[in-house]
Amino acid sequence: MSIGSDLSKAKYILECDGLVAIPTETVYGLAANAFSNSAILKVYKAKDRPSFNPLIVHVKNIEAADEIAKIPAVLKELANHFWPGPLTLLVPKKEKISDLVTAGSDMVAIRMPNHPMTLELLSSLSFPLVAPSANLFGYVSPTNASHVQEGLGGSVDYILDGGQSEIGLESTIVSLQNNTIIVHRLGAITLFQLKTMSKLDLALNIQNNSNPVAPGMLDKHYSPACKLYLYKEDSDLQESNIGLIWFGADVPEGLHKTVHHFNLSKTGLLTEAASNLFCFLRQLDDLNLKHAYIKAVPNRDIGMAINDRINRAVAD
């Protein structure tokens, strides 16, 4: 395994059915040839991902998406507007996509990521790439190359280093049902943006354990080994050796000196908070902390996606 920015090396490995971690604007993905079953199987194995949990396909442009799926006009308009970008379409698949990609479903998830290196790589290939987040199943998604190395260093052939992921949270996932946009995962493309662009009604279908439509979106997810609790007014911040992930300027006074304190955004910027969240969750584990509190952020715009990840990270 090595880390670098050699696109021809990445291309060669992918053409030989190998695994390459790729940078995207959301999080790093663990990529393989979406048309090769043997390459796809390696992805499930490397992530220790249950075979019932389908993979997102990454394409170089909308035409490439058309080759593998039947995309309703409304969703195509959204893609036209938001691609390349953090929007994933859940749409009926065509023959070219095997059941291994979709875990047996007739729907496939597709997006065109917005990262110059990965777009160049995709353009150089004759196939699209499956790429789930490049973390072990259930752990926090990686937002830089060293996160990938820590988790999957032993099983990935090459890590394409494209720096820190700009957004830091996974893409918004949508489908169309009865002329309604169904939102399956909250992300950087907000409900307001989807509503404004599509002019359709929206419905939230944020999956959890009790709703197996997208079995990957379990309640418990994105969790560090450190036990995380949602911060409440009466949380005991006098404990020693705990972590505290705060948001905004009004940091509680008189914290015990051994409290490890992080701030998602001192100035209350939600986009900054999104890009810090997964790094901070990982740092709790780097510090070997056993307990930590995290403050929810205002539940608007990308804040809804941040709170969704926080809720999954604190879930039992």
Give the helix, strand, coil percentages of the chain, each rounded to 5.
30, 20, 50
Give the binding range for ligand TXA (CB under 6 A) out of 19-27, 61-69, 142-150, 155-163.
19-27
Name which of ligand TXA, Mg ion, none residue 168 binds, using a CB cut-off of 5 to 8 Å depending on partner kind: none
Rule CB under 6 A: say whether 144 interacts with ligand TXA.
no
Token code pair at residue 264: 């998602």
Give the binding range for ligand TXA (CB under 6 A) out of 7-15, 214-222, 230-238, 307-315.
214-222
Q: Which is nearer to ligand TXA, 111 or 295 (CB)?
A: 111
Q: Which is nearer to Mg ion, 47 or 60 (CB)?
A: 47
Rule CB under 6 A: say whether 102 interacts with ligand TXA.
yes
Q: Which of 14, 20, 27, 242 binds ligand TXA (CB under 6 A)?
A: 27
Q: Which is nearer to Mg ion, 119 or 136 (CB)?
A: 136
Rule CB under 6 A: say whether 78 interacts with ligand TXA.
no
Q: Judge whether 48 and 154 are in contact, CB under 8 Å.
A: no
Give the binding range for ligand TXA (CB under 6 A) out of 3-11, 100-108, 189-197, 224-232.
100-108
Task: Reduce the DSSP state of residue 132 to 3 states and report it.
Answer: coil
Q: Residue of minimal CB distance from ligand TXA? A: 216
Write out the binding residues for ligand TXA, residues 253-282 only, by CB under 6 A.
none
In the block, residue with structure tokens 């196939």: 127
Give the binding range for ligand TXA (CB under 6 A) out of 49-57, 243-251, 270-278, 279-287.
49-57
Name which of Mg ion, ligand TXA, none residue 162 binds, using a CB cut-off of 5 to 8 Å depending on partner kind: none
- DSSP-H helix ranges across the chain: 7-15, 37-47, 62-68, 73-82, 99-102, 116-124, 145-152, 191-198, 270-286, 302-314
Chain centroid to Cα 45, Å, comes to 19
Question: Rounded to a whole number, what is the largest CA-CA distance in the chain?
Answer: 62
For residue 206, the minimal CB distance to ligand TXA (Å) is 11
For residue 132, the minimal CB distance to Mg ion (Å) is 5
Rule CB under 6 A: say whether 183 interacts with ligand TXA.
no
Total residues in contact with ligand TXA, by rule CB under 6 A: 27
Q: Which is nearer to ligand TXA, 172 or 198 (CB)?
A: 172
Q: Which of 23, 29, 84, 151 binds ligand TXA (CB under 6 A)?
A: 29
Q: What is the spatial distance between Cα 28 and Cα 297, in angstroms, rounded to a whole number? A: 24
Nearest to 200 by CA among 85, 108, 304, 73: 73
Rule CB under 6 A: say whether 216 interacts with ligand TXA.
yes
Q: What is the spatial distance between Cα 121 and Cα 294, in angstroms, rounded to a whole number? A: 37
Q: What is the spatial distance between Cα 55 and Cα 40, in angstroms, rounded to a whole number? A: 9
Q: Judge whether 217 and 235 are in contact, CB under 8 Å.
A: no
Q: Residue of minimal CB distance from Mg ion? A: 133
Q: Which is nearer to ligand TXA, 157 or 170 (CB)?
A: 170
Residue 50: cis peptide before it, omega within 30 degrees of 0: no
Q: What is the spatial distance between Cα 136 and Cα 141, in angstroms, rounded to a whole number? A: 8
For residue 225, the minimal CB distance to ligand TXA (Å) is 19
